[in-house]
Structure 1
């Protein structure tokens, strides 16, 4: 699932998937470079032969976006809130865009209507996903769908995106909407082309969330310092893991109950980590310098405030932070399930 803001005709500010991909930290073998080239060809084929025909099939449907995906979603929270105002996928710029096939070395990700998927971008994903082309293609589609909402609808344009990383709460909400919206469109796309092996919507959305967090980790693992992370990114991980735990609840049985869970955005925060501002004014949290007596997580969900850790419900936040430091996604999934069990 996407995450770069268009900050001008040809540049981006990191947001969702890619932080600041450092070339010196990512060395690709000749085999991996060839695989990256093949992936660009496959992405272009998917974009031209599947995504664009899918967009054209949506263009003449006079329905709200969620009704286009599944008529049963009229009974979900999507019909009762700001979700209702989001566009159909066909209402983005994607139909006129193309996948660049030539620029393997660019540090840009979009220019003049072209998505530029460089060796460095794909290389990080190859390191994480190996030769699982289906997983990489799914992650790339969600990335593009997510970004399409940002700059086609959410007004994250060259006029608004400069320095946007200094507004973490604004980005948190914009990204949450783009995440959920992109996942539901990937669900519709995969259903349209029968691309999924998952046996139920619940299993499918579990796979989408795992794809999203694994894509994020693909780039974070490349980063040189495991002892710190952008605070906004920590919250983003926690939100995705929390949503994964919610959709795995036994009460979630169909697409409507999935929408009702994901349509209610949790507010999650953490205290007790030493913070600093980087050279661009973004807030960085330390996984080493910790105020242990005050280390806690706060969650606002279903009209209730929950504190886990200090002065709250019993929960070992230190172990969760250690899981972040060690990049242990499976452990973070288990922590998210515990959080959900404590507050639901």
Structure 2
């Protein structure tokens, strides 16, 4: 690896990345080698990142800190790098390892970077040579002379300030495909005596990444467990290639963590850019066009229903949807605050048949036009290949969104950051789902009474159509490694209701319309615990890694009684999580049947 001191720089970019220790411009200048002090220089400090870094350590949500660092890089660092391409970067850092690795990755170079360390013992910035100190020597790295195409994870441990315990890292990443250790013979805070020793470690890390990329093509992520100095972390990050290496998951060490691995996932470096979806075939484009035309025709039917009910005198939306002046006794309280169909914006909307690409996949435009993305329609078609069920899914979707924009006032403006209020949104969504299902029942009854002769079968199919539509929004083709807890709750609620409808009342397997409506009017209260909780972007997620499950349980509150269902032979919660990972409703239902039968006897 090239020694950056061989070619004298034309100037310097002094880069400060503090967290534990701040350094002034004067302090950076004083710490420079004498040969550098006369060179032209510019200074960049990231002092305003200190609180973001500390907040990330405290909350374990690194997304905000990563975004803030990316903004500083684009706004402060990159313009100076472009203005002075021949200047040498001189790094003064005390930032957390994940932040330093990410900054090194964004610098995209190691040849033009020099590190000025902070001496831990003497509390000085600069290369301090203590009497009798031996040069830092890299321990031999075990060669990997085999290849493995198995899909999985890789671990690289780098130990230069303290030893990284392999057993502890395997608590975070069990059963890796490959493990590589890079370590000094005697790690220590002040182990390095010169930049060349750091560069040797960086080179070993680059070699390890190259080997993983070449010999282990099934590796999805490299998990970097590093106990290193901040400057060393920067140099490690600079080795990561956007094209040659897998994504690198960094970790923050949290010794005080209880009942959890000490290494907490932090910033994912070299995150893959989601590729653009492949172009649709002529057949797929034609089908998407037919789906829009079908929805447009259905929308006109819905408008006709709205006009008819507006002219009528039925009291409330339940009475309108059921064409019954008495409504239904199960729908009381907040249910009665929902509007009738004519009280939503739906009668004033149209379907945009021309727009084919929609960033949000589905939306109501400012011109009151329903716009649907071609690729999302393809996802829906893969889940619901039958045209009739797909058209029903689109009607349910429009009805659901129409009531959101009516009395519920869940508009694009009011829904910003709505994910911060999962319990509120859970209730809003359930009301909108049931409201849409009852109006779909009304439309089907008007079109063909025979279709709704068996309400139990009709509403069971509605639930499966609704959940498959939800999965179409959650299926971008990439592996599902986490799911928002609110979103999972919505799936669990509706699969639980499906089992209610499937079972019947217990006295008879056949449900009347009154029985079905009584079930739908009562939202199940159930909650899953055990999967690792991950927070980012002001939202809370479950990690879907079965290895990161701690005492899994499903709690259900049913008819005044609390039921707790733990892991057992007839209730493999790991199968439930695997069903979510696979976006497989049948597998989720199979996993839920035993606790359902134990609860609803």
TM-score higher than 0.5: yes
Q: Quick one: which of 278, 292, 297 aligns to 2:554?
A: 297
Match of 2:416?
A: 162
Offset from partner CA, 1:172-204 (integer Å, 9 cap, x none):
010011111111110011111117645400100
Q: What does the per-residue CA deviation read over 1:95-140, in whole Å, with 9 as the maximum and x for residues that have no partner?
A: 111101111112242212111112122121122223x211111000
* Structure 1: gaps (5+ residues): 1-21
Structure 2 CA distance for partners of 1:192 and 1:198, relative to 1, 3 Å: closer
**Distance in 1 of aligned mates of 2:581 and 2:419:** 22
1:92/1:149 contact within 8 Å kept:
yes
Partner of 2:290: 38
* Cα distance change of structure 1 residues 158 and 127 upon mapping to structure 2, 3 Å threshold: closer
1:5 equivalent in structure 2:
none
**2:338 aligned with 1:100, yes or no?**
no
Partners of 1:290 and 1:301 in 2: CA distance: 30
Give SS of 1:294's match: strand
Given the two structures, how large is their TM-score scaled by the length of structure 2? 0.50
What corresponds to 1:124 in structure 2?
Answer: 379
CA distance in 2, matches of 1:277, 1:323: 22
* Structure 1 equivalent of residue 307 of structure 2: 56
Q: Which among 397, 404, 412 is matched to residue 150 of structure 1?
A: 404
2:510 aligned with 1:256, yes or no? Answer: no
If asked which structure has higher relative contact order (CA below 8 Å, sep 6+), I would say: 1
Q: Is the 8 A contact 1:26 1:124 kept in 2?
A: no
CA distance in 2, matches of 1:178, 1:90: 15
Alignment of 1:259-278 (within 5 A): 259-278=517-536
Partner of 1:67: 319
SS at match of 1:226: coil
Instruction: Give deviations 1:316-338, integer Å, cap 9, x for gaps.
Output: 21221122223322122223332
The answer on whether the counterparts of 2:430 and 2:523 sit within 8 Å (CA) in structure 1 is yes
* In structure 2, C-alpha distance between the alignment counterparts of 1:207 and 1:125, rounded to whole Å: 16
Q: Which residue of 2 is the match for residue 325 of structure 1?
A: 581
Partner of 1:77, secondary structure, is: coil
Aligned twin of 2:594: 338
More strand by share: 2
Aligned residues: 318
Asked whether the 8 Å contact 1:66–1:74 carries over to 2, the reply is yes
Asked whether the 8 Å contact 1:73–1:256 carries over to 2, the reply is: no
1:138 aligns to what?
A: 392
Could you say what secondary structure the match of 1:334 adopts? Answer: helix
Are the structure 2 counterparts of residues 89 and 331 from structure 1 closer, same or farther at C-alpha, using a change threshold of 3 Å? same
Q: CA deviation at 1:221?
A: 3.0
Contact 1:72 1:256 in 2 (8 A): no
Comparing 136-145 with 33-42, which one deviates more in the overlay?
A: 33-42
Q: Which residue of 1 aligns with 2:330?
A: 77
C-alpha contact 1:41 1:101 (8 A) present in aligned 2: yes
**Does the residue aligned with 1:268 lie in a helix, a strand or coil?**
strand
- CA RMSD of the aligned region, Å? 2.3
Distance 1:319 1:125, change over 3 A: same
> Against the structure 1 CA distance between its residues 335 and 205, is the aligned structure 2 distance closer, same or farther, given a 3 Å change threshold?
same
Secondary structure in 2 aligned to 1:283? strand
Aligned residue among 192, 196, 211 for 2:446:
192
Q: Residues 269-315 of structure 1, C-alpha deviation per residue, up to 9 Å, x if partnerless?
A: 1111112223x3222211115454511111222222211116x9973
- The answer on 1:228 being equivalent to 2:479 is no
Assess if the C-alpha contact under 8 Å between 2:376 and 2:472 holds in 1. no
- Say if 2:530 and 2:549, in contact at 8 Å, map to a contact too: yes
TM-superposition CA deviations, 1:230-284 (whole Å, max 9, x none):
2211111111100111122232621111111111111221111112223x32222
Work out the CA distance in 2 between the residues paired with 1:202 and 1:176.
Answer: 19
Structure 2 residue matching 1:161: 3-state secondary structure: coil
Distance (Å, rounded) in 1 between the aligned partners of 2:408 and 2:548:
37
Q: Which whole-Å CA distance do the structure 1 matches of 2:349 and 2:382 have between them?
A: 27
